[in-house]
Amino acid sequence: MKGKRILVIDDDEDIREVAKLSLEIMAGLDVILARSSYEGLQKALSEQPDAILLDVMLPDMGGVETFQQLQANPVTKHIPVILLTAKVQASDQRHFASLGVLALIAKPFKPAQLAQQLLTSLGWAECPANLPKSPQIFPN
Amino acid sequence: MRILIIDDDKNIVEVLTKLLLQQNYVVDVAEDGEVGWEFVESLQYDLILLDVMLPKLDGISFCRRLRERKNQALVMLLTARDTTTDKLIGLDSGADDYVVKPFNIPEFSARIRALIRRGSTHALPIVTCGDLHLDTNMHEVAYQGKPLKCSRKEYLLLELFLRNQKRVYSCQEIIDHLWAFDAEPPNNSTVRSHIKNIRRELKSVGADGFLETVYGQGYRINPLFISATNDQKVVQRAQNLSKQVGKQEILDLSVTEIWQQTKGLSLERLSVIQQFLETIKLGIFDETLYQQTIHNAHKLAGSLGMFGFDSGSTLARRIEVLLQVESQFLLKSQPADSHNFVKQLELLVIKLSQELTDPIKVSNNVIVAATDTPQLAATPNTISAKIFLVDHDLQVQRTIKTLLETLGLQIVCLQEQEHFWGILRSSNPDFLILDISMPINNGLALCRSVRQNPDWNWLPILFLTANDDFSTRQQVFTMGGDDYVTKPIVVEELSTRILNRIKRIESIRNKIEIPDAKGEFKS
C-alpha cells in the first residue's frame, strides 16, 4: 500500500504511536498524526489523506462532531473515516455506524491486526476468514 | 559439535586443537582435571579427550566422577600406558575409547568421527533437510545443488540447526554451542549478524525463509522446509510466512519500546483511580475527581490491551462500568455507606495495580501479545516435576508460580534462605531456581553449597539474574549453575528452559535406566 496516506486523530500519545507503527510496518502506509479534533481538521484539509482513523473521545469537540465537520466540508467529504472507540456497548456501536462512518474499530486494538482491519474496511485488502465482513465493526 | 581437550602436554594440545578446528569442531582446552571438571559442569560436550595422567584430578577418577554424575558425554582416553590392564581400567571407568600415545593423526581423526557416530544417530557425514545438504567431510552446504558461501561460524551454525531440526535455539544457546570457552564470548548481535548472513545466502539460492524467528525464543528451521521437496508452493508459503513473522517481530519490539516510553502515562491514570479510592474510603466524595477517574479508567481500558495487558483493559473497563452504574448513588448519597461498592472497587484497583506493576508482566507485554501467533501456541506439557524456587521478591515468586502451575508443574517457594535445607529435603524437588542477588547469602553461595552436598549435587539449578554480563555468566557456571535467565524474565524462555532441562534429565534416566533422585526406576 505504498503511497496511501492515513490521518490518525487521537489525543492519546501511546495510541497514536502504536497505530502509526502498525500501519507503517504491517501495511506500508504513510501515516500523518493529529492530537486533537482541531489539528485533525486542519491536516485533513491541508494533507488530503486517503483515509482517516478518528478517535471518538477527543477532548476538544469529540470524534462524532469532527466527523460531521469533515462531512460538511466539500474538500474533505470524500475521505473515508473509520472510528476508533473504546465504547463497546452495542447501542453505541449502532449509533456510530448510523452516522455514515465506513467502519468501527474497537479499542484496545491489537497492533498486529489494526492494519488488516483498516485495509479490509477500505476495500484495499481481501477480508481474511477470521475477520467479520459485514457490518464493518471490528471488535477487540 | 563441541569437544573438550583435557591434557597438560602443551604440544599435544596444540596439535589436537589445530586438527579439530580444521575439522570444524568447537574446541575448549583445560590443562588439569579440576579445570576440566569446571568446564563439564558449565557446558555440554559431545566428546571429551581426556589424558589419564593429569594434575589435580587424574583421568580415570575424572571419568568415574563424570559417570557418577550421569554425564553422558563421550570420553576418549589419551595415554602412554598401553597394557591390557590399563585399557581395562580406563574403559571400566566409563570411557568410550582408549588411544595410546603417540598416535597416528589420520587414525585418530577417524576414531573421533566413528565415536561421534556411535554416540549419536544424528552424526552422519551428510546431513539433509529438505533440499538443503550439508557435507561434513567436504565442509560444504548446498541447496538444490547450488552451493552456499558461508564463513566457518555460519557453517557451524547451519550444522547445529540441521542436526537438531525441530529445536529452537536462542542466541545464548548458539553461543554456548559454537564459541570456545576461553574466547571472549560474542554478544547476541554477533549471532544475529551471522543469522542475517546465512539468511541472505539462503535467499540467494532460493531458500528464503529457511531459518525462522520464533519470537521470544530464538531461531529454528522453518517446519515447512523440513519436509519440503521441490514444491514451489510450499517454498512460497514459507517465504510469505517468514516475511509476515519478520514484520510482526519488528512491530512487537517497537510496541514494547512505546510502552517503555509511555507507561508513565498509564501509571498516572492508575494513580488518579487510586486517589479516588482513598478519598471514597474516607467518606469524601469529590465529583471532579470522580469524573476524572471514569475518564482515566476509560482511557486505560482502551489502551492497555494494545500492549498485551488484556486483563488490565478488562479490569479498567469494569472499574469504569462500576463507577457509571453507581453514579446515581455516588452523586446523591453518602458513598462511604456503600461497603460493597468500596470493596468491589478496591479489589479491582488492587488487581489492576498488580497487573501494571508486576515486573515480569510489565516487561513482557510483547510476549503476552506474541502468544497470539500460531507458532507460539503452548505445547501441552506432559512432564510432571517439582520445582523449588528461592527468591526474596514475592511478586516474582507469585508470577513464576502461576506460570509453572499452568504448565502442570508443582512449585515450592521460599523467600528466606534460613529454612532452605529443611524445605529442600522435605519437598525433594526435581529442579531448583535461585535468585542470584538475595540478601544475606547470595544465590551463588547457596548454589555452591548444593554442589558440595553429595545428596543434592545432581540437582539442576537455574539462576535468575538482573545482569547479563560476562562476569556474571562466568560466576553462574563456575559455581555450578546449569543455566540462567535474565530479569526481566521472558516467561516463554523461562518455561522452555526449565522444561527442556527436565526432559533431558528424563531422557538420560530412561536411556541408562538409572534410579531417579527418589531412588525409583522408571518403568
Contacts of B256 in chain A (CB under 8 A): none
- Answer whether A108 touches B (CB < 8 Å): yes
Asked if A112 and B265 come within 8 Å (Cβ–Cβ), the reply is no
Given a contact cutoff of 8 angstroms between Cβ atoms, the answer to whether A88 and A117 are in contact is no
CB count, 10 Å around CB of B301? 25
Which residue type occupies B389?
L
Asked if A25 and B250 come within 8 Å (Cβ–Cβ), the reply is yes
> What does the pLDDT average to over A53-57?
92
- Report residue B463 as a C-alpha cell: 539462576
Output the pLDDT for position A122.
Answer: 87
Judged against a pLDDT cut of 80, whether residue A51 lies above it is answered with yes
CB contacts < 8 A (A, B): 72
Contacts of A13 in chain B (CB under 8 A): 262, 265
Judged against a pLDDT cut of 50, whether residue B168 lies above it is answered with yes
Output the pLDDT for position B481.
Answer: 83
DSSP secondary structure letters along B39-102: HHHHS--SEEEEESS-SSS-HHHHHHHHHHTT---EEEEEES--SHHHHHHHHHTT-SEEEESS
- Answer whether A92 touches B (CB < 8 Å): no
Given a contact cutoff of 8 angstroms between Cβ atoms, the answer to whether B1 and B134 are in contact is no
Q: Which one of A1, A11, A14, A88 would you mutate to disrupt binding with B, by most B Cβ within 10 Å of its Cβ?
A: A14
DSSP secondary structure letters along A56-104: S--SSS-HHHHHHHHHHSTTTTTS-EEEEE----HHHHHHHHHTT-SEE
Asked if A112 and B372 come within 8 Å (Cβ–Cβ), the reply is yes
Contacts of B307 in chain A (CB under 8 A): 14, 18
- From its phi and psi, is residue B411 left (phi > 0), alpha (psi between -120 and 50) or beta? beta
Output the pLDDT for position A96.
Answer: 77
Residues of chain B with pLDDT > 70: what percent?
79
Higher pLDDT, A111 or B139: A111
pLDDT band at A135 (very low <50, low <70, confident <90, very high): very low
Phi, psi (rounded to 5 degrees) for B57: -145, 115
pLDDT band at B125 (very low <50, low <70, confident <90, very high): low
pLDDT per residue as tens digits for the range B264-282 = 889 899 999 999 988 888 8
Judged against a pLDDT cut of 60, whether residue B394 lies above it is answered with yes
pLDDT band at B419 (very low <50, low <70, confident <90, very high): confident
Higher pLDDT, A112 or B248: A112
Asked if B265 and A15 come within 8 Å (Cβ–Cβ), the reply is no
Question: How buried is residue B454: exposed, middle or buried, by Cβ count under 10 Å (0-12/13-18/19+)?
Answer: exposed
Q: How far is residue A50's CA from residue A79's CA, in Å, rounded to a whole number?
A: 6
- From its phi and psi, is residue B356 left (phi > 0), alpha (psi between -120 and 50) or beta? alpha
Nearest to A21 among B255, B262, B304 (CB): B255
pLDDT band at B404 (very low <50, low <70, confident <90, very high): confident
Higher pLDDT, B374 or B67: B67
Output the pLDDT for position B119.
Answer: 56
- Answer whether A109 touches B (CB < 8 Å): yes
Judged against a pLDDT cut of 70, whether residue B153 lies above it is answered with yes
Asked if A111 and B369 come within 8 Å (Cβ–Cβ), the reply is yes
Please list, residue by residue across B120-159, b when 16 or more beta carbons sit within 10 angstroms of its beta carbon and e when fewer do. Answer: eeebeeebebbbbbbebeeeebebeeeebebeebbbbbbb
Nearest to A25 among B254, B299, B305 (CB): B254
Min CA distance, B268 vs chain A (Å)? Answer: 13
pLDDT band at B183 (very low <50, low <70, confident <90, very high): low
Judged against a pLDDT cut of 90, whether residue A34 lies above it is answered with yes
Asked if A110 and B372 come within 8 Å (Cβ–Cβ), the reply is yes
Higher pLDDT, B12 or B241: B12
Say which range, B4-18, B35-49, B487-501, has the weakest mean pLDDT: B487-501
Given a contact cutoff of 8 angstroms between Cβ atoms, the answer to whether A21 and B255 are in contact is yes
Asked if B306 and A15 come within 8 Å (Cβ–Cβ), the reply is yes
Query: Is the previous residue joined to A135 through a cis bond, with omega within 30 degrees of 0?
Result: yes
Higher pLDDT, A48 or B213: A48
Highest average pLDDT, of A21-25, A133-137, B243-247, comes from A21-25
Asked if A13 and B255 come within 8 Å (Cβ–Cβ), the reply is no
Which residue type occupies B196?
K
Nearest to A108 among B250, B254, B303 (CB): B303
Say which range, B167-181, B358-372, B408-422, B491-505, has the weakest mean pLDDT: B358-372
**Could you identify the residue written with the cell 474499530?**
A105
Asked if A26 and B305 come within 8 Å (Cβ–Cβ), the reply is no
Q: How far is residue B112's CA from residue B277's CA, in Å, rounded to a whole number?
A: 71
Q: Which one of B254, B291, B321 would you mutate to disrupt binding with A, by most A Cβ within 10 Å of its Cβ?
A: B254
pLDDT band at B235 (very low <50, low <70, confident <90, very high): low
Min CA distance, B76 vs chain A (Å)? Answer: 53
Output the pLDDT for position B122.
Answer: 45
Q: How far is residue B275's CA from residue B157's CA, in Å, rounded to a whole number?
A: 55
Min CA distance, B218 vs chain A (Å)? Answer: 20
Judged against a pLDDT cut of 90, whether residue A78 lies above it is answered with yes
Asked if B306 and A86 come within 8 Å (Cβ–Cβ), the reply is no
Asked if A108 and B248 come within 8 Å (Cβ–Cβ), the reply is no
Judged against a pLDDT cut of 90, whether residue A49 lies above it is answered with yes
Q: How far is residue B335's CA from residue A132's CA, in Å, rounded to a whole number?
A: 43
Closest chain B residue to A26, measured at CA: B247
Say which range, A9-18, B328-337, B428-437, has the weakest mean pLDDT: B328-337
Given a contact cutoff of 8 angstroms between Cβ atoms, the answer to whether B111 and B99 are in contact is yes
Closest residue by Cα to residue B336 from B347, B346, B324: B346
pLDDT per residue as tens digits for the range B325-345 = 777 666 665 544 566 778 888
Nearest to A12 among B248, B251, B303 (CB): B303
Judged against a pLDDT cut of 70, whether residue A136 lies above it is answered with no
Closest residue by Cα to residue A29 from A137, A118, A103, A123: A118
Average pLDDT, chain B: 77
> Positive or negative, the Cα torsion across B447, B448, B453, B454?
positive
Q: Which one of B303, B309, B318 would you mutate to disrupt binding with A, by most A Cβ within 10 Å of its Cβ?
A: B303
CB count, 10 Å around CB of B61? 15
Higher pLDDT, A101 or B407: A101
Q: What pairs with residue B484 in β-bridges?
A: B463
> What does the pLDDT average to over B23-42?
86
Close Cβ partners of B452 (under 8 Å, ≥ 6 residues apart): none
Q: How far is residue B443's CA from residue B435's CA, in Å, rounded to a whole number?
A: 6
Question: How buried is residue B103: exposed, middle or buried, by Cβ count under 10 Å (0-12/13-18/19+)?
Answer: middle
- Look at residue B289 and give its three-state secondary structure: helix
